[in-house]
Every structure is written in C-alpha cells, then in structure tokens.
Structure 1
Amino acid sequence: MPVSVIIPVGPGESPDAPLFSRLNLLPDTWQVIIALCPESQALKTTLDLTRDAEFVVAPQGRGQQMNAAVENASGQYLWFLHIDSGLTLSVVHALKQALAHNPDKLLCYRLCFAGDGQGPMMLNALGANLRTRLLGVPFGDQGFCLPAKRFREVGGYPETLPYGEDHVLVWLLRLEGVRGQMLPCDLETSARKYRRAGWLSLTLRYQWYWLRQAAPYAGRLLRQKVKRLIGV
C-alpha cells in the first residue's frame, strides 16, 4: 500500500526529536514529507534523517503546512505524524495490517503519553481512547491515516482555525460517511505541554475546546441520521 507520511514541524522544534532518527523503520517505498514553516525552515539543513525525505515550506500553521504537503503527496494513503510521535516497528506493522483489511477507514492509534508531563496523564489517555472508541472522535496526536482521495474530497484540514483542525477534519469525514477505527497498538506522544501549562488547567481547557467545537458538527450528523431514518 503506497503511503505518504507527513510530518509538520512548527517554530521552535528541536532537530533532535527522536522521530527523525526512526524514519528508517518505515518501508522504503513509503514517501516521507516534512512540512516546514518559514520559522522552522532552517531545520532543513540540520536534521539528521535516517532515510530520504522531501521538504515543503508553507505559512505557519499545522493545517496549512499539512495541506501543502498533501499537494506533493503521491501515496494512496496519507499518514499524519506529529513530531512528538513515538515511531516503532509495532506502530508501522499495525498500520500495514490495518490498511490491508480496512483500507477505507480513518485509522488511528491508542494514545499514550511519555513520562515528560505532569499530573495523572494516564487519565487523559484513557479519556481520549474511550472517546475514540465510543464516539469515534480521535485527535491528531493519535496518528491519522486515511485514503488521500477522501482527504481531498472533504477539502483537507481547515486552515483558518486557531486550534482543532484535526478534530474538525474528523467531523467532516464522518459527515461524508468515513468511519474511524482505532488500531490495537499504542502511539506514544509527548506530554511536556501539560508540564508547562499545568495538568488541570490544560485538561479542562482542552475539554471545553473540543466540546464547543464538536457541537455544530454533532448536530449536523444527528440531523443527517434522522433524515435517513425517515426517508427524507
């Protein structure tokens, strides 16, 4: 299955992020695109990559950078990885298996946090995984992978939002009938932002953000289902 792996890099990111040293775990036939912004463009000459990669530069913003990378993507599938993602052979194997059996779904991983945070991060991971399993609403740090065709059909990531472009993408896909599936594999991500901002403060803020953002899309999805039930 030809896959384009897309990694957005914002300003202030370290060239020593472990992800860059693990790219050799990816199949040789998979395309790797690193999406920089003007503020992170200097990393292009300092990254010590373990395999070939392509670079694109777009205005700062995760949505804009990832959309720009998709314009250069040749893979049938798009796999979006954050720079904090813990790439392992198990993670790659789980995706390859899922693409062979569920090629039309929005695939994501069970979330787990590294030990660089603050507070009971296991509760955050548990909540994220329950939300994904029960409500079908994962977030971007769970490593989205989906057909490139479906991504382009919904217009890609929203580029004007101050936050939650990954969350809105999930809702846009659901409105088009694309269902999600969580893989039986953990994808570790950094929790350092919880240490900087404070565990309780950031956890409550994120809960408010996603509930407020989800409300209009959940309403549209409910109306869509009701219309199908009554045959309108």
Structure 2
Amino acid sequence: MPVSGTARRILVVEDEPVINQAVTDRLRGTGYDVVQAWDGPGAVEQFAATEPDLVVLDVMLPGFDGHEVCRRIQSGRPVPVLMLTARDDEADILVGLGVGADDYLTKPFRMRELVARVGALLRRVDRAAELANRTTTTMDLGDLRIDAAARRVWVEQVEVHLTPTEFDLLICLAADPGVVLTREHLYAEVWGWPGASGTRTVDSHVKALRAKIGADRVRTVHGVGYALESGGAA
C-alpha cells in the first residue's frame, strides 16, 4: 500500500486492453489512483491533464511509440517511468533509458513484480533529496562537477543532461569516490529495493551514465561492482 495518506497517481499506458485493465486493477487494489491511456498521443494528453506521480509505459503503441512518449513527458516534468518491453534486448533497453525511463520489465511479467517495481521507484523519488543531502552541495572530481542541490552536472565545463535515476546513481557513486560499491548496494541505495537481484538494471544504467559522462569515469570491478574515479577521465 502507498505509505502516504494521499494515494499516488499512476498513468498506465498499454494498447492491449486485457493487459491495461489487469495492471490497472492490480494497482488500484494496492491503493493507487490509476488513470489509463491506450496510445502515444493519448498518453501525452493524459499525462498533461492528470499529472501522475509515475508512468507504466508499454514500448509498442499506436500513434507513436513509448520511447517518444517518454521523451515528450520527460521534457516537461521529470517523472519515474517503468517501461514494459516485449523483448529483453539490451539495445532496446538502452534506448528506453536514454529517453528517461527509470526501470523496465520484460513481458510476460508477474503482477507482483510490477507492483514491487512501482513501489521501489516511488520510494526512490522520496529518497532522492535525502541521498543528495548526504553529499557536499557542489562536488568537483577532476573535470566532473556535480551540483547536488540543483541536480546539475558538468563535464569539462559543458552541462550534461542526466535522467533522475542516472543522477541518483552518480550521486551515490560520488558520495564515496574511488570506493567500489556492489551492484546490490547500488540497487538498494538508488532504487530503494534492498535484497532484490537487479544487477542487469544497474549494469544498464551504468552503461547509459558512462555514455554521458565518459566511459573511463566509472570503473568496473568484475564480479563486484563499480567505482567513480575521483580524478575524472583517465
């Protein structure tokens, strides 16, 4: 159940009526306020009209696809997005992460897992300010500059746009530069879901983050996890 007294609003975007209604019914049964859309244009309209706290978004949609929906809604007001994809393909997943998705589920999925992912994403939003407050307001790591309070990042004095999850991942790594953090630790800290096996989610987001801030800035320790290089790019 949502922890606050006011139910969180979720927009479910899925063109298959049976799946859309099943997801909607399950989320409403969990205590969320749910609104629905069945195509790309309708999703953007519903997002503007209802201002949801989170979006469950299918990739394949009539009108225009879920990637374009995600791009449009994130350009106006950043919001957590859980994407539903029919293919567990890394290229498709990285496209989704690149346009602002925070997590993904591959069809077919268990409703219990979807509800758990939704809850974890909402907890991540609630904990974002707390995570940022653990760091100095402004951090300089070589030519990487992070303003935690303003949630802004510069690489070689050029501002880089990060999604909310990418920024939270960077802040978590930057809180202990040079220290190797396990995938499980990152998943618990950034996604707020301790004990879950979200290693692929972490790996995909690290790959997307590297593409924006430079591959050499995040060091991989195989079989363990990742560390942010304190001196910037090698």
TM range (shorter): 0.3 to 0.5
TM-score normalized with structure 1 length: 0.35
